[in-house]
Amino acid sequence: MSSMYLGNLKISLFGQSHGKGIGVVIDGLPAGEKVDMDALQAFMQRRAPGNSDVSTPRKESDVPNILSGLTDGVTCGAPLCAVFENTNTRSSDYDRLKNVPRPGHADYTAQVKFCGFQDAAGGGHFSGRLTAPLTFAGGICKQILERRGIAVGAHLLSVGNVRDAGFDPVSVTAKQVLLPGSKPFPVLSDEAGEQMRESILRAKAMGDSLGGIIECACVGVPAGWGDPMLDGMENRLSRILFAIPAVKGVAFGDGFEAAVSAGSVQNDAYYIEESAVKCRTNHAGGILGGITNGMPVLFRCAIKPTPSIALRQESVNLASMECEMLEIGGRHDPCIAPRAVPVVEAAASIALLDAWMGEKMYKKA
């Protein structure tokens, strides 16, 4: 069992959706790093529910109570622990669900895994709410990276069948990657965003939900970050991205499109510009052999449709072992992808800061 990210940076996530609180311990942050709490709160707000008509009207407290690791707003070298109280929980929504697992959720698998002792309310430890401390941790990493000229930004590449343009894989700038996150709806083209919102509202009206694809770019990452084989950037990133509950696919650069392409296309040609090695294209997503090549690091995540839908569904009663129809009450996101955008940025920031630490470690001195 490990709800821990264990690299050079070590992060421990805890909490259940309807327990007393959730939170995170970040062990290994360098000392002397300022944390801009306003910027961090604004970053977390992008993930928070209740912001718009396409997200759940549920309100959650996303204000961290930082117990340790900061002195006068600066990291002191000791592990940083932040706790988020759980408020506004409505456990009665879930009472009936205890024995009737919601399709698409982890209710059934948690029950088997924990021999029936799992905390079922609100999805327990498997709740999307656990992305709040993940976002908090990643938000701090993001600030540390930004001070070193590295910008991590993501946007909705698609929602359902509506597709936006992607980042330019070669020339995308820090300003461009940060732009979508500054908008109420994290897209490049607001027109595409409007269509996405309409699709979501349509799905919601039908008691259904939609998925989407998030594209993320990391600009300013020098060549040489990451390690061979098991600790390459792709390994690190995918490992943490799949910790986001709805992610079902992760692809770097051209990803699955590389599979229908040719080597003569995929091989990014090198050239020299201003005494630096550059690539003319970026089909590799800035990573070769697990190690960054100095081009923007680019990847996409597939987000599945929210499993909580209003439509009546077929399930089973685990007590009686009989089939049982299920209707899920409560208030849910008809599409979780918009709120997942900052979580993806946070996950990427953690993996990058981890690689940065490793990079320092292995340099000869």
List CB contacts of 78: < 8 A, sequence separation 6 or more: 68, 69
Nearer CB in complex with a second copy: 57/224: 224
Q: How far is the CB of 339 from a second copy (least distance, A)?
A: 15
Q: Which is nearer to a second copy, 65 or 87 (CB)?
A: 65
**What's the start-to-end Cα distance of the chain, in Å?**
37
What long-range pairs does 224-230 form, CB within 8 A, spacing at least 24?
Answer: 224/291, 224/292, 224/359, 225/291, 225/292, 225/352, 225/355, 225/356, 225/358, 225/359, 226/287, 226/290, 226/291, 226/292, 226/355, 226/358, 227/290, 227/291, 227/355, 227/358, 228/289, 228/290, 228/291, 229/290
For the bound state, the minimum distance from the C-beta of residue 358 to a second copy, rounded and expressed in Å, comes to 7
* Two tokens, residue 5: 């990210």
Tell me whether residue 175 or residue 248 sits nearer to a second copy (CB atom).
248
Nearer to a second copy, 38 or 264 (CB): 264
CB of 36 to a second copy, least distance (A): 16
Q: Which is nearer to a second copy, 165 or 175 (CB)?
A: 165
- CA 20 → CA 13, 16, 136, 330, distances in Å? 14, 8, 18, 20
The residue (of 99 and 178) whose beta carbon lies closer to a second copy is 99
CB of 58 to a second copy, least distance (A): 17
Quote the least distance from Cβ 38 to a second copy, whole Å. 20
User: Distance (Å, rounded) from C-alpha 177 to C-alpha 180?
Assistant: 7
Pick between residue 40 and residue 106 the one whose CB is nearest to a second copy: 106
> What minimum distance in Å lies between the beta carbon of 345 and a second copy?
18
Least distance to a second copy from the beta carbon of 271, Å? Answer: 5
Q: Tell me whether residue 152 or residue 251 sits nearer to a second copy (CB atom).
A: 251
Helix (H, G, I), strand (E, B) or coil at 243: coil
* Spatial separation of the C-alpha atoms in residues 249 and 242, rounded to whole Å: 8
Question: Which among 117, 138, 137 is positioned nearest to 16, based on CA atoms?
Answer: 117
Name which of 149, 297, 280 is nearest 225 in CA terms.
297
Q: Which is nearer to a second copy, 38 or 364 (CB)?
A: 364
Residue corresponding to tokens 């993320």: 216
Dihedral sign computed on CA atoms, order 46, 50, 56, 62: positive
Compute the least distance from the CB of residue 149 to a second copy, in Å.
12
Q: How far is the CB of 326 from a second copy (least distance, A)?
A: 9
Cβ-count burial 164-199 (b if 16+ within 10 Å, e if not): bebbebeebbbebbbebbeeebbbbeeebbebbbeb
The nearest distance, CB 309 to a second copy, in angstroms, is 4
Look up residue 85 and give its amino acid. E
Closer residue to a second copy, CB minimum distance, 57 or 207: 207
Buried b (16+ CB within 10 A) or exposed e, 9-40: bebbbbbbbbbebbbbbbeebeeebebeeeeb
